Amino acid sequence: MRNGNGHGSAILGEMLEPVSRSFGLQTARSLVALRVSGRTRARVEKLAERCNQGKLSPNERAEYEAYVQASTLIGILQAKARRILFKTA
């Protein structure tokens, strides 16, 4: 997912398609409503700022990349959940 050209997200989306077909309406609604805690959001913002400044330690870079990967995964699942909810509306 670090390739920078979007292929990683597309592949992940393709691989998650079978999972999303098993979503019921309540699961889809729960995914769409999912939000990270304020503490997590603050940590990601701090890491993003340090990254933009070129000041991340190797451990911070690994942590930040994990947050980015998790965000990508959650975002794809939420998009699939929104599509399900749209189709049933």
Q: Is the pLDDT of residue 12 over 90?
A: no
- Domain boundary assignment for the chain: 7-88
Q: pLDDT tens digit string along 15-62?
A: 999 998 899 999 999 999 999 999 999 999 999 999 999 999 999 999
* pTM of the entire predicted model: 0.81
Count of Cβ atoms closer than 10 Å to residue 63 Cβ: 15
Distance of CA 61 to the CA centre of its chain: 17
* 8 or 81, which is more confident: 81
